[in-house]
Amino acid sequence: MAGTGSAPETQLTSRERIKRALANGKTGRISKDAANAVMLGVFRCAAYITTLVLVAIIAYVVINGAPHISPDFIFGWPQGVNAEGGIWPTIVSTLYVTALAMLICTPIAVLAAVYLAEYAKQGRLVETIRYAADTLASVPSIVMGLFGYALFVEAMGLGLSMVSAACALALLMLPIVMRTTEEAIRAVPRYIRWGAYGLGATKWQVVSKIVLPSAFGRIATGIVLAIGRAIGETAVVLYTMGQAINLPISPLDSGRPMTVHLYLLANDGINMNAAYGTALLLMLIILAFNLFARYLSRKSR
């Protein structure tokens, strides 16, 4: 009698009723397939748009910038009102300030991360520090620039200089490096630490000889990504390094980084060719750092 469909509801067991409800369900195969196809299309479009935007930006910059790039442009000194000629001092300023920022940021960030991940008792204090780092990461860079100006340039009297800009950039890199380092440290398996403790290693020996070397690849990746971020930063350095075309030697020298040079060229509209050439070089440098980060993270896996 089950499954004939003619039996009165009350005579069916609950299982038979469920079977009947499932069999009489309204959605047909065709509409399900159609919904699948449509949604697949939507997802795919969204994914393509993301890629397309990147390709468009790169193509635009390459088409406009590539013809202008030459050894003279890269290694030459600016001419006229600093709009003609080469951009060598700005490249040097950018690399100089970034290297200095890395030197300032890395020890602090790594030590803080080691403290958070290995030593601090997990609780409110650690949560607060972590939250502060995340908030620091979301401070608008123009605000960081103003703060850097007030603190390093004015209050500490370092002036518009490499070291002022590097300190301000280090503030920007700090949360990035700290959080990636903390995650890298946490990713070192517990049982590897136990192995070291089991051999009679002290906490410091475990951290310095096992944990940090094991996490090195991922920490380096985080540092390199933060460097990429710092190289492209404009607002922070605008307020802290100055704009002088200058080949920096001492950390107290001022200079003009590529981003600021690009901003000034484009803002005044004096030489758009040089602006695009600078933009392309800037992108190539950042790309190189990102590829390097990728290589490091692959190698460490």
Partner 1 sequence: MSVYQNAPAPEVSAITAANFDFWYGDFHALTDVNLNIAKNKITAFIGPSGCGKSTFLRCMNRMNDLIEGTRCEGVMTLDGADIYAEGVDPVDLRRRVGMIFQQPNPFPKSIYENVAFGPRLQGVTSKSDLDDIVEESLKRANLWKEVSNQLSKDGLALSGGQQQRLCIARVLAVQPDVLLMDEPCSAIDPTSVQKVEDLMAELAPEMTIIIVTHNMQQAARISDCTAFFLQEVAGEPATLIEYGQTDALFTSPIDKRTEDYITGRFG
Residues lying near partner 1 in the complex (CB under 8 A): 121, 189, 191-192, 194-202, 205, 209-210, 213-214
7 or 199: whose CB is closer to partner 1?
A: 199
43 or 119: whose CB is closer to partner 1?
A: 119
Quickly list DSSP for 167-218: HHHHHHHHHHHHHHHHHHHHTS-HHHHHHHHHTT--HHHIIIIIIHHHHHHH
- Minimum CB–partner distance for residue 14 and partner 1 (Å): 33
- Minimum CB–partner distance for residue 50 and partner 1 (Å): 35
Nearest to 63, CA basis, from 282, 279, 285, 286 = 279
- Minimum CB–partner distance for residue 137 and partner 1 (Å): 29
Distance CA 78, CA 262 (A): 13
94 or 214: whose CB is closer to partner 1?
A: 214
Total residue count of the chain as it appears in this document = 301
- Residues with Cβ < 8 Å from 292, sequence gap 6 or more? 224
- Minimum CB–partner distance for residue 6 and partner 1 (Å): 51
Nearest to 100, CA basis, from 290, 220, 249, 261 = 249
Residue with tokens 């503030």: 171
113 or 210: whose CB is closer to partner 1?
A: 210
- Minimum CB–partner distance for residue 184 and partner 1 (Å): 13
60 or 194: whose CB is closer to partner 1?
A: 194
